[in-house]
């Protein structure tokens, strides 16, 4: 079935002909991924993490799609994102992960958002603010069970537990964050799950959330009352080393600006690090590291060379990626197969975000969140 294509929210350029690259985002695939995660969680609610502009893919269209599918709880990084989200999703619970500052309290009331309280200092400021304004919007309490990033230490959280016996205690959600969920056999997973279970018993009656994308696949012990997937919604594999249960969401294409021929022994690109071992043909593509493709993908090491799909065939990068351009070796394609103005597919066509990340020595999250800053955005399946 053909998917309808709609233009994105304004993001700079509006015409595909004015940009070198096109990023296609399949909103129907995002919804399908959310539903897959719902099935994995069975009777547990599935929320959605849409921070970092929905991992770079556009907070507003992604959140609207998920809300229409039935998602009722969203997580963002900051109040700016919460404000954008609330303008399009009226009734959902919105949690702000980066916590509470007293001078921003009025915005939480205005937006109807809930801070994630990450320290006893924040909690004291939040309590003072709530008392002053008589607001009952609620907050999440994050307990640090081993990430050693944000969160209240376990012993301090335990000391706060009697609070839930009081009226209007204000804790709408108890949460923690798994550090190694993508490594199912890592001993820290079991330790964090057990610690959170103990804390959860002290906060009876308060909904709890522990499982991120990979945590959802650790089983019932990690599920609690609310799963909060992020990267898996956008097609990143939450089960590394196993088949990806998620549908692909993005396709990144670049316009071919020129086809050029070079002789054996000639070099390509900055630093002259790639030398033609034979007479070669190159496609020069209008994408580069300014479009979110790490320079580490450069075609230097034959054992770790990224590829693009051109005319249905995988072709290796040649030389260093520059800010706006990539050279791709198309020598093995029949002469005349590729023309100026054709597209090269950098993600899609059998090339996943995780494939690129592995070659670049990073993770799919980083690749995903850097895409589309200059590209023309097309949303499918709206």
Q: What is the pLDDT of residue 15?
A: 56
Domain of 89 in residue numbering reads as 44-234
Between β-strands 5-7 and 376-380, what pairing exists: parallel, antiparallel or unpaired? antiparallel
Residue 284 falls inside a structural domain:
yes
Q: Which of 55, 234, 270, 365 is catalytic?
A: 270
Please give the residue that has the higher pLDDT: either 4 or 231: 231
Q: What is the pLDDT of residue 11?
A: 40
The pLDDT tens digits of the residues spanning 261-315 come to 999 999 999 999 999 999 999 999 999 999 999 999 998 887 788 999 999 999 9
Residue 268 falls inside a structural domain:
yes
Same structural domain for residues 222 and 255? no
Residue 150, pLDDT > 80, answer yes
Same structural domain for residues 227 and 373? no
Question: In angstroms, rounded to a whole number, what is the distance separating the alpha carbons of residues 170 and 135?
Answer: 9
Same structural domain for residues 283 and 327? yes
Tell me the angle at which helices 79-88 and 59-69 cross, rounded to the nearest 10 degrees. Answer: 50
**Is 51 annotated as catalytic?**
yes
Number of domains comprising the chain = 2
Same structural domain for residues 220 and 357? no
Tokens of 346: 């950098």
Q: What is the pLDDT of residue 32?
A: 98
**Is 289 annotated as catalytic?**
no
312: left (phi over 0), alpha (psi -120 to 50) or beta: left
Mean pLDDT over residues 61-78, rounded? 98
Last residue of a domain, one of 169, 199, 234: 234
Residue 37 falls inside a structural domain:
no
Q: Which of 24, 51, 365, 379 is catalytic?
A: 51
Q: What is the largest CA-CA distance in the chain?
A: 80
DSSP, res 248: P
Residue 17's pLDDT band, with cuts at 50, 70 and 90, is low
Residue 34, pLDDT > 60, answer yes
Same structural domain for residues 203 and 255? no
CATH of the domain at 291: 2.40.37.10
Closest CA to 299 of 278, 311, 282, 312: 282
Least confident segment among 3-7, 86-90, 224-228, 357-361: 3-7
Please give the residue that has the higher pLDDT: either 370 or 5: 370
Same structural domain for residues 151 and 93? yes
Residue spans of alpha helices (H) in 171-226: 187-202
Question: In angstroms, rounded to a whole number, what is the distance separating the alpha carbons of residues 234 and 57?
Answer: 8
Same structural domain for residues 215 and 361? no
Residue 2, pLDDT > 50, answer no
Q: Which residues contact 89 (CB under 8 A, 6 or more apart)?
A: 63, 64, 67, 74
Residue 6 falls inside a structural domain:
no
Same structural domain for residues 133 and 190? yes
pTM for this predicted structure: 0.93
Same structural domain for residues 69 and 202? yes
CB 181 within 8 A of CB 189: yes
Same structural domain for residues 255 and 229? no
Same structural domain for residues 155 and 202? yes
CB 333 within 8 A of CB 311: yes
Q: What average pLDDT does the chain have?
A: 93
Last residue of a domain, one of 234, 263, 280: 234
Residue 315: C-alpha distances to residues 198, 279, 307, 340, 363 (Å): 53, 16, 5, 16, 22
Residue 16's pLDDT band, with cuts at 50, 70 and 90, is low
Mean pLDDT over residues 343-348, rounded? 96
Q: What is the pLDDT of residue 52?
A: 96
Question: In angstroms, rounded to a whole number, what is the distance separating the alpha carbons of residues 9 and 61?
Answer: 8
Residue 340, pLDDT > 50, answer yes
DSSP, res 221: G
Last residue of a domain, one of 164, 199, 234: 234
CATH of the domain at 160: 3.20.20.10
Question: In angstroms, rounded to a whole number, what is the distance separating the alpha carbons of residues 111 and 131?
Answer: 18
Same structural domain for residues 89 and 175? yes
């Amino acid at each position: 079935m053909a998917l309808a294509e709609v233009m994105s929210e304004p993001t700079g350029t509006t015409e595909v002909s004015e940009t070198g690259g096109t990023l296609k985002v399949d909103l129907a695939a995002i919804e399908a991924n959310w539903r897959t995660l719902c099935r994995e969680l069975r009777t547990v609610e599935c929320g959605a993490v849409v921070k970092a502009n929905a991992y770079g893919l556009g907070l507003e269209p992604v959140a609207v799609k998920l809300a229409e599918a039935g998602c009722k709880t969203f997580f963002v990084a900051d109040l700016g994102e919460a404000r954008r989200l609330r303008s399009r999703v009226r009734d959902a619970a919105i949690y702000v992960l980066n916590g509470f500052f007293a001078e921003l309290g009025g915005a939480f009331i205005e937006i109807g958002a809930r801070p994630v309280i990450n320290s006893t200092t924040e909690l004291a400021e939040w309590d003072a603010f709530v008392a002053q304004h008589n607001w009952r919007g609620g907050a999440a309490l994050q307990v640090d069970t081993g990430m050693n990033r944000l969160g209240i230490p376990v012993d301090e959280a335990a000391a706060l537990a009697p609070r839930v016996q009081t009226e209007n205690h204000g804790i709408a959600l108890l949460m923690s964050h798994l550090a190694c969920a993508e490594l199912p056999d890592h001993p820290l997973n079991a330790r964090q799950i057990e610690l959170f279970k103990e804390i959860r018993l002290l906060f009876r009656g308060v909904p709890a959330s522990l499982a991120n994308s990979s945590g959802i696949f650790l089983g019932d012990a990690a599920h609690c009352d609310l799963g909060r997937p992020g990267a898996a919604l956008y097609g990143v594999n939450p089960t590394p080393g196993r088949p990806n249960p998620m549908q692909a969401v993005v396709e990144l294409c670049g316009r071919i600006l020129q086809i050029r021929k070079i002789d054996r022994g000639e070099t390509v690109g900055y630093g002259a690090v790639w030398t033609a071992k034979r007479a070669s043909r190159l496609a020069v593509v209008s994408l580069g590291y300014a479009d979110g493709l790490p320079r580490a993908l450069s075609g230097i090491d034959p054992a770790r060379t990224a590829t693009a799909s051109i005319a249905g065939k995988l072709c290796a990068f040649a030389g260093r990626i520059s800010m706006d351009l990539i050279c791709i070796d198309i020598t093995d394609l029949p002469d005349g197969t590729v023309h100026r103005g054709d597209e090269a597919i950098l993600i899609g066509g059998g090339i996943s975000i995780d494939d690129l990340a592995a070659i670049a020595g990073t993770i799919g999250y980083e690749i995903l969140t850097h895409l589309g800053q200059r590209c023309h955005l097309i949303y499918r399946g709206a």
